[in-house]
Chain A
Amino acid sequence: MTSTAPTKQGPAPNLWTRTHGALIERLHIRLESLIVLFVLATTMAILSPYFLSVSNFMNILLATSTIGVLAIAATFVLSSGGLDLSLGSVMGLSGVVGAAVAVKLGAPTPVAVVATIAAGAAAGLVNGLIITRAFVPAFIVTLGMLGIARGMALVISDGRVIYGLPKAMVYLGQGRPMGIPMPVIIFLVTAVVMHILLAYTRYGRHTLAIGDNENAARTAGINIERHRLTLYTLSGALSGLAGLLFATRINSGDPTAGMTYELTAITAAIIGGTNLFGGRGSILGTMIGALIMGVLQNGLNLLAVQSYYQQMAIGIVLVLAVFIDQWQVRKESRV
């Protein structure tokens, strides 16, 4: 056996694919999803005269902010080989808890904000404890939490929206420093931090390894139970953040907020290249996935296409995205 420098087989890539391919790879995203996003945006811009404007761009980001934060949570859990079906319900519960703490208890804004996120984290911690200590499958545990959290939200709020948050709190949802909506700022900052966490820290790499091959991760000395516990807690805390964004945006805690969002969030993550069965995922990819859905919805809204068609369109994009991905993976494994 002789030592050779590793080279890709096949014709030498041209300069563009070398440099840009490397950049895209370093950012952990798939080129295909970027192309889909670009094509979609171009199509919408041609079809609707209202699409290309700064205010509409902000609309898209704003509309993507809650679902985007949930999709980040979904990316972490899915890429570790787990599943969290309680994202939407926990988001609803957190918003109601935050509103109740602020309105009913009259707590100051910082306390209410912390309570909102802590409520989500607590729900996630419970998920994680039952999954890792009682060895109940994540599907079952989080499905249970989906019902429990929604029920708690309705109980706490008595089934009604809790209106009238403190001014400072509402600023988080409605403020526009430099014309940029606060939820968009919070969403983007969260995405950057979470991207770094997943792609550039040992925590993130262990997350992917656990989802890839739990046995390999265990033999590598990673404490899988503790890691999973923190992942579900993180997922809950991010759901709490999503709840905070929505509640402050509409100045009230809505007990029905976030219904079926868990599925939308998982869809965004998967369109963005996350492996449903673990081992692969990136926050930037998920952002692109969420934006694909956001652009699609916004464009179809601008074209006044009925919401039924929008759901069809998103379903088609999901299946297409996974198809392209599988095709790509098969192609790679033939090399």
Chain B
Amino acid sequence: MSNLLEIKGVSKSFGPVDVLDRVDLIVAPGEVVGLVGDNGAGKSTLMKIVTGMYSADAGGITLNGEDIFHHTPGERRRMGIEMIYQDLALARQQDVAANIFLGREPTRSVLGMRFVDRATMRRDAQAMIDRLGARLPAINRPVGSFSGGQQQSVAIARALTFNPKVVIMDEPTAALAVREVQGVLDLIRQLKSEGIGVILISHRLNDVLSVTDRIVVLHHGRASANLTTAKTSMAEVVSAIVGGGDMAEAAAHEARG
């Protein structure tokens, strides 16, 4: 299976603090990779390096084999890397269509000048919201007036509207009711079936275990474990996250030869 997204040896430090240390992470098409770790382990920093918000000090990133290390966030987004932020990154006073198409507004030409094509925006936004089966009070309202779950739907709709190749979700279920959590997990499975690569950052290990193919554990800025979900257990994952006994023992065992 050829790789969709390849992160090789990425390092990053903020001043004297090493946040990431030679991290590798690979996502294949249609693969769901869980990215877990304690607070401050470097998950968010790693993802911001993938989307281009931060630049890494060293390492390489490729998408479908193309080097994107020096691409801007806008270019990476156009190439198909989408991220759903934990804070959703919504413009709260703008309506649903404006948020979904932010930075990528369709235009039409009138007398040689380009204007935002609001009709298309509204129609496509409505279609995407319908496809997600989301319930919104009205599509032409400021998203700030929506509930947390409704805002989440808008953020997801924005990530999916432009046929992404890789979707990164940062704690997508943290603020949701149980019923809504199931909807997000179903959505992830649907993305997988469409051949989209998904990176799921979550503290809810049950969700991670139920939906991912592989789990990468970050510990103090290093990828300390790369586990196949089908062959691992909650205990092993937790142990890797806290950097606890099992792993130390395993390391010792290996050292003994």
Contacts and interface: CB of A to CB of B under 8 A. Distances in A.
Interface in A1-27: 1-4, 6-9, 25
B90 interface: yes
Given A208-B94, A216-B89, A221-B77, A8 B137 contact: yes
Given A2-B133, A3-B130, A201 B115 contact: yes
Interface string B179-192: 00001000000000
B145 interface: yes
B138 A201 contact: no
Size range of the interface on B?
Answer: 35 or more
B83 A219 contact: yes
Given A8-B138, A200-B115, A221-B73, A332 B89 contact: no
A225 interface: no
A213 interface: yes
A202 B92 CA distance: 18
A148 interface: no
A148 B83 CA distance: 44
Interface stretch (B12-20, B98-106, B242-250): B98-106
Contacts of A335: 137, 141, 145
A216 B90 contact: yes
Given A208-B94, A280-B93, A217 B102 contact: yes
B137 A212 contact: no
B89 A9 contact: no
Contact of A332 (B78, B90, B141, B183): B141
B103 A212 contact: no
A213 B130 contact: no
A9 B134 CA distance: 16
Given A201-B116, A219-B53, A6 B83 contact: no
B253 interface: no
A206 interface: yes
Nearest to B117: A200
A201 B114 contact: yes
A178 B142 CA distance: 43
A217 B92 contact: no
Q: Which of B73, B93, B130 has the most CB of A within 10 A?
A: B93
Contacts of B133: 1-3
A6 B116 contact: no
A53 interface: no
Interface residue SS majority, chain B = loop
A209 B130 contact: no
A324 B137 CA distance: 23
A207 B90 CA distance: 14
A275 B93 contact: yes
A1 B133 CA distance: 6
Contacts of B53: 218-219
Contacts of A304: none
Contacts of A279: 91-94
Interface string A256-293: 00000000000000000001000110000000000000
Nearest to A278: B93
Interface in A171-229: 196, 200-202, 205-206, 208-209, 212-213, 215-223
A306 interface: no
Interface in B116-157: 116, 118, 126, 129-130, 133-142, 144-145
Given A208-B91, A217-B102, A279-B91, A6 B137 contact: yes
Q: Which of A217, A221, A279, A280 has the most CB of B within 10 A?
A: A221
Contacts of A215: 87, 89
B98 A219 contact: no
Nearest to A280: B93
Contacts of B107: 202
B202 interface: no
B65 interface: no
Contacts of A332: 141-142, 145
Contacts of A212: 91-94
A187 to B, nearest CB: 22
A219 B92 contact: no
B103 A221 contact: yes
A198 to B, nearest CB: 11
Contacts of A216: 89-91, 99, 102
A6 B94 contact: no
A218 B85 CA distance: 12
Contacts of A9: 137
B73 A218 contact: yes
A6 B157 CA distance: 15
B145 A222 contact: no
A208 B136 contact: no
B103 to A, nearest CB: 3
Interface string B213-247: 00000000000000000000000000000000000
B135 A4 contact: yes
Given A6-B126, A6-B139, A7-B138, A219 B89 contact: yes
B173 interface: no
A105 to B, nearest CB: 36
Given A6-B136, A202-B107, A219-B73, A209 B98 contact: yes
8 contacts: A6-B138, A7-B137, A201-B116, A205-B116, A212-B91, A219-B51, A222-B102, A332-B141
Given A200-B115, A217-B103, A221-B73, 12 more contacts: A1-B133, A9-B137, A202-B105, A205-B116, A206-B103, A215-B89, A217-B91, A219-B85, A220-B102, A221-B75, A279-B92, A332-B145
